[in-house]
Protein backbone atom coordinates (compact mmCIF):
# COMPACT_ATOMS: atom_id res chain seq x y z
CA UNK A 1 0.00 0.00 0.00
CA UNK A 2 1.40 3.39 -1.02
CA UNK A 3 0.02 6.08 1.31
CA UNK A 4 0.00 9.60 -0.10
CA UNK A 5 1.23 12.47 2.04
CA UNK A 6 -1.29 15.15 3.04
CA UNK A 7 0.76 17.87 1.36
CA UNK A 8 0.18 16.36 -2.10
CA UNK A 9 -3.60 15.99 -1.99
CA UNK A 10 -4.88 19.55 -2.22
CA UNK A 11 -7.62 20.01 -4.81
CA UNK A 12 -6.31 21.39 -8.08
CA UNK A 13 -8.24 24.01 -10.02
CA UNK A 14 -9.77 21.29 -12.19
CA UNK A 15 -10.80 19.18 -9.17
CA UNK A 16 -12.37 22.24 -7.57
CA UNK A 17 -14.25 23.20 -10.72
CA UNK A 18 -15.76 19.71 -11.07
CA UNK A 19 -16.61 19.59 -7.36
CA UNK A 20 -18.46 22.91 -7.50
CA UNK A 21 -20.84 21.32 -10.00
CA UNK A 22 -22.32 19.44 -7.05
CA UNK A 23 -23.11 22.83 -5.53
CA UNK A 24 -25.12 24.11 -8.51
CA UNK A 25 -22.20 25.75 -10.35
CA UNK A 26 -23.13 23.84 -13.50
CA UNK A 27 -24.20 20.18 -13.46
CA UNK A 28 -22.05 17.20 -12.31
CA UNK A 29 -19.83 15.35 -14.80
CA UNK A 30 -19.15 11.63 -14.53
CA UNK A 31 -16.58 9.41 -16.29
CA UNK A 32 -17.48 5.85 -17.21
CA UNK A 33 -15.80 2.69 -18.51
CA UNK A 34 -17.93 -0.23 -19.69
CA UNK A 35 -16.44 -3.68 -20.30
CA UNK A 36 -18.37 -6.04 -22.59
CA UNK A 37 -17.55 -9.62 -21.59
CA UNK A 38 -18.26 -12.87 -23.43
CA UNK A 39 -19.12 -14.58 -20.14
CA UNK A 40 -20.77 -13.70 -16.83
CA UNK A 41 -18.32 -12.62 -14.16
CA UNK A 42 -18.78 -14.53 -10.88
CA UNK A 43 -19.91 -12.52 -7.89
CA UNK A 44 -16.66 -13.28 -6.09
CA UNK A 45 -14.67 -11.59 -8.90
CA UNK A 46 -16.87 -8.48 -8.72
CA UNK A 47 -16.51 -8.28 -4.94
CA UNK A 48 -12.74 -8.71 -5.19
CA UNK A 49 -12.52 -5.92 -7.78
CA UNK A 50 -14.74 -3.63 -5.69
CA UNK A 51 -12.67 -4.26 -2.56
CA UNK A 52 -9.35 -3.65 -4.33
CA UNK A 53 -10.63 -0.41 -5.89
CA UNK A 54 -11.85 0.69 -2.45
CA UNK A 55 -8.26 0.52 -1.18
CA UNK A 56 -7.02 2.89 -3.88
CA UNK A 57 -7.17 6.49 -5.05
CA UNK A 58 -10.78 6.40 -6.30
CA UNK A 59 -12.01 6.14 -2.73
CA UNK A 60 -11.51 9.76 -1.81
CA UNK A 61 -13.59 12.43 -0.14
CA UNK A 62 -13.33 16.19 -0.73
CA UNK A 63 -12.94 18.02 2.59
CA UNK A 64 -13.52 21.75 2.77
CA UNK A 65 -10.67 23.88 4.16
CA UNK A 66 -11.08 25.47 7.56
CA UNK A 67 -9.29 28.65 6.51
CA UNK A 68 -10.74 30.95 3.80
CA UNK A 69 -8.55 31.01 0.71
CA UNK A 70 -7.00 27.60 1.31
CA UNK A 71 -7.61 24.84 -1.17
CA UNK A 72 -9.75 21.86 -0.25
CA UNK A 73 -8.11 18.58 0.67
CA UNK A 74 -8.64 14.99 -0.44
CA UNK A 75 -8.91 12.30 2.25
CA UNK A 76 -9.70 8.58 2.20
CA UNK A 77 -13.36 7.62 1.93
CA UNK A 78 -13.83 5.04 4.69
CA UNK A 79 -16.53 2.92 3.01
CA UNK A 80 -16.82 0.90 -0.19
CA UNK A 81 -19.90 1.38 -2.41
CA UNK A 82 -22.36 -1.45 -3.05
CA UNK A 83 -22.27 -3.32 -6.36
CA UNK A 84 -25.34 -2.59 -8.47
CA UNK A 85 -26.52 -5.84 -10.09
CA UNK A 86 -29.18 -5.57 -12.80
CA UNK A 87 -31.91 -8.14 -11.96
CA UNK A 88 -33.11 -8.64 -15.56
CA UNK A 89 -31.32 -10.05 -18.59
CA UNK A 90 -30.64 -7.31 -21.14
CA UNK A 91 -31.32 -7.51 -24.86
CA UNK A 92 -28.96 -5.77 -27.29
CA UNK A 93 -31.40 -2.90 -27.66
CA UNK A 94 -31.25 -2.28 -23.89
CA UNK A 95 -27.48 -1.88 -23.59
CA UNK A 96 -27.13 1.89 -24.20
CA UNK A 97 -30.09 2.67 -21.95
CA UNK A 98 -28.52 0.55 -19.21
CA UNK A 99 -25.09 2.19 -19.38
CA UNK A 100 -26.79 5.60 -19.47
CA UNK A 101 -28.86 4.73 -16.40
CA UNK A 102 -25.71 3.67 -14.56
CA UNK A 103 -23.99 6.86 -15.65
CA UNK A 104 -26.62 8.82 -13.69
CA UNK A 105 -26.25 6.85 -10.43
CA UNK A 106 -25.95 9.26 -7.47
CA UNK A 107 -22.42 10.40 -6.61
CA UNK A 108 -21.14 13.13 -4.31
CA UNK A 109 -17.40 13.42 -3.56
CA UNK A 110 -18.08 15.77 -0.64
CA UNK A 111 -19.67 12.79 1.13
CA UNK A 112 -17.12 10.26 -0.09
CA UNK A 113 -19.61 8.82 -2.64
CA UNK A 114 -17.16 8.99 -5.51
CA UNK A 115 -17.54 5.83 -7.62
CA UNK A 116 -19.75 2.79 -8.26
CA UNK A 117 -19.57 -0.62 -9.95
CA UNK A 118 -22.51 -2.20 -11.76
CA UNK A 119 -23.03 -5.41 -13.73
CA UNK A 120 -25.69 -6.87 -16.00
CA UNK A 121 -26.23 -10.14 -17.86
CA UNK A 122 -26.83 -10.15 -21.62
CA UNK A 123 -29.17 -12.37 -23.61
CA UNK A 124 -26.25 -13.70 -25.70
CA UNK A 125 -24.64 -15.21 -22.58
CA UNK A 126 -22.22 -12.36 -22.00
CA UNK A 127 -22.33 -9.53 -19.51
CA UNK A 128 -21.53 -5.85 -18.95
CA UNK A 129 -19.44 -4.29 -16.22
CA UNK A 130 -19.68 -0.54 -15.61
CA UNK A 131 -17.40 1.67 -13.51
CA UNK A 132 -18.46 5.28 -12.98
CA UNK A 133 -16.33 7.87 -11.18
CA UNK A 134 -17.12 11.50 -10.53
CA UNK A 135 -14.84 13.69 -12.67
CA UNK A 136 -13.75 15.65 -9.59
CA UNK A 137 -12.28 12.40 -8.26
CA UNK A 138 -10.58 11.01 -11.37
CA UNK A 139 -9.96 11.69 -15.03
CA UNK A 140 -9.57 8.83 -17.49
CA UNK A 141 -5.89 8.35 -16.68
CA UNK A 142 -6.56 8.11 -12.94
CA UNK A 143 -9.31 5.56 -13.55
CA UNK A 144 -7.05 3.43 -15.73
CA UNK A 145 -4.28 3.56 -13.13
CA UNK A 146 -6.66 2.58 -10.31
CA UNK A 147 -8.08 -0.40 -12.22
CA UNK A 148 -4.63 -1.62 -13.29
CA UNK A 149 -3.42 -1.50 -9.70
CA UNK A 150 -6.54 -3.32 -8.50
CA UNK A 151 -6.19 -6.16 -11.03
CA UNK A 152 -2.42 -6.59 -11.25
CA UNK A 153 -1.47 -6.67 -7.57
CA UNK A 154 0.41 -3.37 -7.71
CA UNK A 155 0.27 -1.30 -4.53
CA UNK A 156 -2.77 1.01 -4.53
CA UNK A 157 -2.39 4.75 -4.09
CA UNK A 158 -4.12 5.18 -0.74
CA UNK A 159 -5.31 8.58 0.44
CA UNK A 160 -4.58 9.66 4.05
CA UNK A 161 -7.38 9.67 6.61
CA UNK A 162 -9.22 12.88 7.29
CA UNK A 163 -7.09 15.09 9.55
CA UNK A 164 -8.91 17.20 12.13
CA UNK A 165 -5.86 18.13 14.19
CA UNK A 166 -4.37 21.54 14.84
CA UNK A 167 -1.63 20.56 12.40
CA UNK A 168 -4.18 20.39 9.58
CA UNK A 169 -5.52 23.82 10.56
CA UNK A 170 -1.99 25.23 10.47
CA UNK A 171 -1.45 23.62 7.05
CA UNK A 172 -4.65 25.27 5.77
CA UNK A 173 -3.41 28.63 7.01
CA UNK A 174 -0.07 28.13 5.25
CA UNK A 175 -1.82 27.08 2.03
CA UNK A 176 -4.11 30.14 2.14
CA UNK A 177 -1.05 32.36 2.60
CA UNK A 178 0.68 30.77 -0.41
CA UNK A 179 -2.45 31.20 -2.52
CA UNK A 180 -2.81 34.87 -1.63
CA UNK A 181 0.87 35.54 -2.36
CA UNK A 182 0.56 33.75 -5.71
CA UNK A 183 -2.45 35.87 -6.69
CA UNK A 184 -0.63 39.07 -5.67
CA UNK A 185 2.38 38.09 -7.80
CA UNK A 186 0.12 37.27 -10.73
CA UNK A 187 -1.71 40.58 -10.37
CA UNK A 188 1.53 42.55 -10.27
CA UNK A 189 2.93 40.70 -13.30
CA UNK A 190 -0.31 41.23 -15.26
CA UNK A 191 -0.27 44.96 -14.45
CA UNK A 192 3.29 45.28 -15.73
CA UNK A 193 2.39 43.49 -18.94
CA UNK A 194 -0.59 45.77 -19.54
CA UNK A 195 1.56 48.82 -18.83
CA UNK A 196 4.05 47.57 -21.39
CA UNK A 197 1.34 47.11 -23.99
CA UNK A 198 1.29 43.32 -23.87
CA UNK A 199 -2.02 41.50 -23.83
CA UNK A 200 -2.89 37.96 -22.90
CA UNK A 201 -5.96 35.85 -23.48
CA UNK A 202 -5.12 33.51 -20.60
CA UNK A 203 -8.21 32.82 -18.61
CA UNK A 204 -10.52 34.57 -21.08
CA UNK A 205 -13.93 32.96 -21.22
CA UNK A 206 -16.16 33.55 -24.24
CA UNK A 207 -19.79 34.24 -23.39
CA UNK A 208 -22.42 31.64 -24.22
CA UNK A 209 -24.03 31.96 -27.60
CA UNK A 210 -27.37 33.71 -26.97
CA UNK A 211 -29.12 31.78 -29.73
CA UNK A 212 -27.44 28.48 -28.89
CA UNK A 213 -29.26 25.14 -28.68
CA UNK A 214 -31.86 24.52 -26.01
CA UNK A 215 -32.83 21.25 -24.32
CA UNK A 216 -36.50 20.18 -24.30
CA UNK A 217 -37.96 18.95 -21.02
CA UNK A 218 -36.86 15.37 -20.31
CA UNK A 219 -34.25 15.31 -23.09
CA UNK A 220 -31.42 12.82 -22.64
CA UNK A 221 -28.02 13.01 -24.32
CA UNK A 222 -27.99 10.76 -27.42
CA UNK A 223 -25.22 8.18 -27.15
CA UNK A 224 -23.90 5.57 -29.58
CA UNK A 225 -21.22 2.91 -29.06
CA UNK A 226 -19.67 1.49 -32.24
CA UNK A 227 -17.45 -1.60 -31.98
CA UNK A 228 -15.00 -1.95 -34.90
CA UNK A 229 -12.22 -4.36 -35.82
CA UNK A 230 -8.94 -2.56 -35.08
CA UNK A 231 -7.32 -4.05 -38.20
CA UNK A 232 -10.08 -2.49 -40.36
CA UNK A 233 -9.64 0.93 -38.76
CA UNK A 234 -5.85 0.85 -39.05
CA UNK A 235 -6.08 -0.23 -42.70
CA UNK A 236 -8.53 2.58 -43.50
CA UNK A 237 -6.31 5.13 -41.79
CA UNK A 238 -3.18 3.89 -43.57
CA UNK A 239 -4.89 4.05 -46.99
CA UNK A 240 -5.49 7.75 -46.42
CA UNK A 241 -2.11 8.72 -44.96
CA UNK A 242 -3.01 8.64 -41.28
CA UNK A 243 -3.04 6.67 -38.07
CA UNK A 244 -5.86 5.28 -35.95
CA UNK A 245 -5.75 8.46 -33.87
CA UNK A 246 -5.98 10.86 -36.82
CA UNK A 247 -8.77 8.73 -38.32
CA UNK A 248 -10.66 9.06 -35.03
CA UNK A 249 -10.19 12.85 -34.97
CA UNK A 250 -11.33 13.10 -38.59
CA UNK A 251 -14.38 10.96 -37.86
CA UNK A 252 -15.45 13.29 -35.05
CA UNK A 253 -14.93 16.39 -37.20
CA UNK A 254 -16.87 14.89 -40.11
CA UNK A 255 -19.83 14.04 -37.86
CA UNK A 256 -20.34 17.64 -36.74
CA UNK A 257 -20.13 18.83 -40.34
CA UNK A 258 -22.63 16.23 -41.55
CA UNK A 259 -24.99 17.02 -38.67
CA UNK A 260 -24.87 20.74 -39.50
CA UNK A 261 -23.47 21.59 -36.07
CA UNK A 262 -20.64 23.57 -37.67
CA UNK A 263 -20.11 25.42 -40.95
CA UNK A 264 -19.16 22.94 -43.63
CA UNK A 265 -16.74 25.44 -45.20
CA UNK A 266 -14.95 26.60 -42.04
CA UNK A 267 -12.24 24.78 -40.08
CA UNK A 268 -13.46 22.41 -37.36
CA UNK A 269 -11.58 22.90 -34.10
CA UNK A 270 -11.16 19.61 -32.22
CA UNK A 271 -10.08 19.40 -28.56
CA UNK A 272 -7.60 16.60 -27.88
CA UNK A 273 -7.19 15.56 -24.21
CA UNK A 274 -3.60 14.66 -23.32
CA UNK A 275 -2.53 13.13 -20.02
CA UNK A 276 0.19 14.80 -17.95
CA UNK A 277 0.11 12.04 -15.33
CA UNK A 278 3.41 10.78 -13.94
CA UNK A 279 4.26 7.55 -12.15
CA UNK A 280 2.52 7.17 -8.75
CA UNK A 281 0.76 10.47 -9.44
CA UNK A 282 -1.92 11.12 -6.77
CA UNK A 283 -3.75 13.88 -8.64
CA UNK A 284 -7.41 13.35 -9.45
CA UNK A 285 -7.20 15.33 -12.69
CA UNK A 286 -4.02 15.62 -14.72
CA UNK A 287 -5.33 16.20 -18.24
CA UNK A 288 -4.35 19.00 -20.60
CA UNK A 289 -6.05 19.95 -23.86
CA UNK A 290 -4.41 20.34 -27.27
CA UNK A 291 -6.41 21.80 -30.15
CA UNK A 292 -6.22 21.13 -33.86
CA UNK A 293 -8.11 22.80 -36.72
CA UNK A 294 -9.40 20.32 -39.30
CA UNK A 295 -9.79 21.59 -42.87
CA UNK A 296 -13.17 20.43 -44.25
CA UNK A 297 -11.62 20.10 -47.70
CA UNK A 298 -9.30 17.43 -46.30
CA UNK A 299 -12.34 15.70 -44.79
CA UNK A 300 -14.08 15.64 -48.16
CA UNK A 301 -10.94 14.18 -49.77
CA UNK A 302 -10.42 11.76 -46.88
CA UNK A 303 -6.86 13.03 -46.72
CA UNK A 304 -5.42 12.36 -43.27
CA UNK A 305 -1.84 13.48 -43.96
CA UNK A 306 -2.45 17.21 -43.22
CA UNK A 307 -4.40 16.32 -40.07
CA UNK A 308 -1.61 14.02 -38.92
CA UNK A 309 0.85 16.90 -39.23
CA UNK A 310 -1.60 19.25 -37.49
CA UNK A 311 -2.04 16.88 -34.53
CA UNK A 312 1.72 16.48 -34.23
CA UNK A 313 2.11 20.27 -34.11
CA UNK A 314 -0.74 20.65 -31.59
CA UNK A 315 0.86 18.13 -29.23
CA UNK A 316 4.25 19.84 -29.60
CA UNK A 317 2.75 23.26 -28.84
CA UNK A 318 1.06 21.87 -25.74
CA UNK A 319 4.48 20.83 -24.55
CA UNK A 320 5.59 18.06 -22.26
CA UNK A 321 6.02 20.00 -19.00
CA UNK A 322 5.50 17.64 -16.06
CA UNK A 323 3.03 19.28 -13.68
CA UNK A 324 2.99 16.41 -11.21
CA UNK A 325 5.79 17.62 -8.96
CA UNK A 326 4.45 19.83 -6.21
CA UNK A 327 2.36 22.98 -6.40
CA UNK A 328 2.89 25.74 -8.93
CA UNK A 329 3.22 28.91 -6.88
CA UNK A 330 3.55 31.29 -9.81
CA UNK A 331 -0.12 32.19 -9.59
CA UNK A 332 -2.75 32.81 -12.26
CA UNK A 333 -6.33 33.87 -12.75
CA UNK A 334 -7.27 30.26 -12.00
CA UNK A 335 -5.62 30.56 -8.58
CA UNK A 336 -7.87 33.53 -7.84
CA UNK A 337 -11.01 31.78 -9.11
CA UNK A 338 -10.34 28.77 -6.88
CA UNK A 339 -10.32 31.10 -3.87
CA UNK A 340 -13.71 32.65 -4.70
CA UNK A 341 -16.98 31.49 -3.09
CA UNK A 342 -19.57 29.63 -5.16
CA UNK A 343 -21.86 32.67 -5.36
CA UNK A 344 -19.20 34.64 -7.25
CA UNK A 345 -17.98 31.77 -9.42
CA UNK A 346 -21.58 31.10 -10.45
CA UNK A 347 -21.74 34.61 -11.92
CA UNK A 348 -18.58 34.34 -14.01
CA UNK A 349 -18.87 33.89 -17.80
CA UNK A 350 -19.03 30.23 -18.80
CA UNK A 351 -16.68 29.14 -21.60
CA UNK A 352 -18.36 27.47 -24.54
CA UNK A 353 -17.37 23.87 -25.18
CA UNK A 354 -15.45 22.77 -28.30
CA UNK A 355 -17.51 21.65 -31.27
CA UNK A 356 -15.68 18.32 -31.03
CA UNK A 357 -13.83 16.67 -28.17
CA UNK A 358 -11.98 13.55 -29.32
CA UNK A 359 -10.39 11.57 -26.48
CA UNK A 360 -8.40 8.55 -27.59
CA UNK A 361 -7.50 6.35 -24.61
CA UNK A 362 -5.26 4.21 -26.84
CA UNK A 363 -4.57 0.50 -26.43
CA UNK A 364 -5.60 -0.67 -22.98
CA UNK A 365 -3.26 -2.91 -20.98
CA UNK A 366 -4.08 -6.60 -20.32
CA UNK A 367 -4.57 -5.76 -16.63
CA UNK A 368 -7.16 -3.10 -17.44
CA UNK A 369 -8.86 -5.21 -20.13
CA UNK A 370 -9.56 -8.11 -17.73
CA UNK A 371 -10.91 -6.54 -14.52
CA UNK A 372 -12.63 -9.77 -13.45
CA UNK A 373 -9.95 -12.15 -14.74
CA UNK A 374 -11.32 -12.73 -18.25
CA UNK A 375 -10.29 -10.38 -21.11
CA UNK A 376 -13.17 -8.20 -22.28
CA UNK A 377 -14.50 -8.49 -25.80
CA UNK A 378 -14.43 -4.69 -26.04
CA UNK A 379 -14.33 -1.62 -23.83
CA UNK A 380 -16.28 1.61 -24.13
CA UNK A 381 -15.34 4.89 -22.48
CA UNK A 382 -17.48 7.98 -22.10
CA UNK A 383 -17.82 11.05 -19.95
CA UNK A 384 -20.43 13.70 -19.61
CA UNK A 385 -23.01 15.59 -17.66
CA UNK A 386 -25.10 13.46 -15.33
CA UNK A 387 -28.12 15.65 -16.03
CA UNK A 388 -28.13 18.29 -18.77
CA UNK A 389 -30.49 21.22 -18.30
CA UNK A 390 -31.32 24.01 -20.71
CA UNK A 391 -28.84 26.45 -19.16
CA UNK A 392 -25.98 23.95 -19.47
CA UNK A 393 -26.75 23.23 -23.12
CA UNK A 394 -26.86 26.94 -23.93
CA UNK A 395 -23.53 27.49 -22.17
CA UNK A 396 -21.84 24.58 -23.96
CA UNK A 397 -23.08 25.74 -27.34
CA UNK A 398 -23.66 22.26 -28.76
CA UNK A 399 -21.22 19.81 -30.33
CA UNK A 400 -20.09 16.20 -30.10
CA UNK A 401 -17.86 14.35 -27.66
CA UNK A 402 -16.16 11.13 -28.70
CA UNK A 403 -13.93 8.53 -27.03
CA UNK A 404 -11.93 5.64 -28.44
CA UNK A 405 -10.58 2.52 -26.71
CA UNK A 406 -8.59 -0.31 -28.28
CA UNK A 407 -8.53 -3.75 -26.65
CA UNK A 408 -8.45 -7.36 -27.80
CA UNK A 409 -8.38 -6.60 -31.52
CA UNK A 410 -11.35 -4.23 -31.31
CA UNK A 411 -11.56 -0.46 -31.26
CA UNK A 412 -14.69 0.97 -29.71
CA UNK A 413 -15.81 4.50 -30.55
CA UNK A 414 -18.38 6.15 -28.28
CA UNK A 415 -20.11 9.32 -29.44
CA UNK A 416 -22.45 11.62 -27.48
CA UNK A 417 -24.25 14.61 -29.00
CA UNK A 418 -25.07 17.86 -27.17
CA UNK A 419 -27.26 19.55 -29.78
CA UNK A 420 -30.95 18.73 -29.24
CA UNK A 421 -32.04 20.55 -32.40
CA UNK A 422 -29.73 18.79 -34.85
CA UNK A 423 -29.27 15.46 -33.03
CA UNK A 424 -32.42 14.99 -30.97
CA UNK A 425 -32.21 11.26 -30.21
CA UNK A 426 -30.21 8.03 -30.35
CA UNK A 427 -31.60 6.99 -33.74
CA UNK A 428 -30.46 10.21 -35.41
CA UNK A 429 -26.99 9.79 -33.93
CA UNK A 430 -26.85 6.12 -34.95
CA UNK A 431 -27.57 7.11 -38.56
CA UNK A 432 -24.83 9.75 -38.41
CA UNK A 433 -22.27 7.32 -37.01
CA UNK A 434 -23.20 4.56 -39.48
CA UNK A 435 -22.78 6.89 -42.47
CA UNK A 436 -19.59 8.37 -41.01
CA UNK A 437 -18.01 4.93 -40.66
CA UNK A 438 -19.25 3.78 -44.07
CA UNK A 439 -17.49 6.73 -45.70
CA UNK A 440 -14.22 5.16 -44.50
CA UNK A 441 -15.40 1.63 -45.42
CA UNK A 442 -15.27 0.58 -41.76
CA UNK A 443 -17.93 -1.83 -40.52
CA UNK A 444 -19.15 -1.68 -36.94
CA UNK A 445 -21.42 -3.41 -34.49
CA UNK A 446 -23.51 -0.83 -32.66
CA UNK A 447 -24.26 -1.57 -29.02
Q: What share of the chain is helix, strand, coil (3-state, %, to 5)?
A: 35, 25, 40
Neighbours of 274 (CB within 10 A): 17
What would the mean pLDDT of 272-296 be, rounded to a whole number? 94
Find the range with the poorest average confidence among 116-130, 162-176, 423-437.
162-176
pTM beyond 0.85: the answer is: yes
Predicted confidence at residue 381, as pLDDT, reads: 97
Is residue 123 very low, low, confident or very high in pLDDT (cuts 50, 70, 90)? very high
pLDDT at 198: 46
pLDDT at 197: 54
321-326 CB contacts, 8 Å cutoff, 24+ apart = 321/276, 322/276, 322/278, 323/276, 323/286, 324/276, 324/277, 324/278, 324/281, 324/283, 324/286, 325/278, 326/8
Give the least confident one: 65-79, 194-208, 253-267, 324-338: 194-208
Query: Which pLDDT score is estimated for 111?
Result: 93
Contact 261, 355 (CB under 8 A): yes
Looking at every residue in the chain, the average pLDDT score rounds to: 88
Amino acid sequence: MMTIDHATVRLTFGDDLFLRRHRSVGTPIVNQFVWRLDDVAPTSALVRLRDELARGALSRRADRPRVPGARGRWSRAPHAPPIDVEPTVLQDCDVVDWLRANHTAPLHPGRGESWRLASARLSDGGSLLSLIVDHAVADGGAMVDAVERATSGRAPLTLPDRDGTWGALRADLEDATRQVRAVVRWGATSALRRRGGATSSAGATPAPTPDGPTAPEGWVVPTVVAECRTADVEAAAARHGGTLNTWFVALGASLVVTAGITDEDGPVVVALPVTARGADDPRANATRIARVAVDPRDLRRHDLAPLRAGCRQAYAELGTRDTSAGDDDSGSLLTLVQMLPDALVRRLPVPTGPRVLASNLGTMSPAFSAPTGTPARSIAALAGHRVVDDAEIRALGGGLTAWACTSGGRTTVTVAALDPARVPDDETLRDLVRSGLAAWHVEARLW
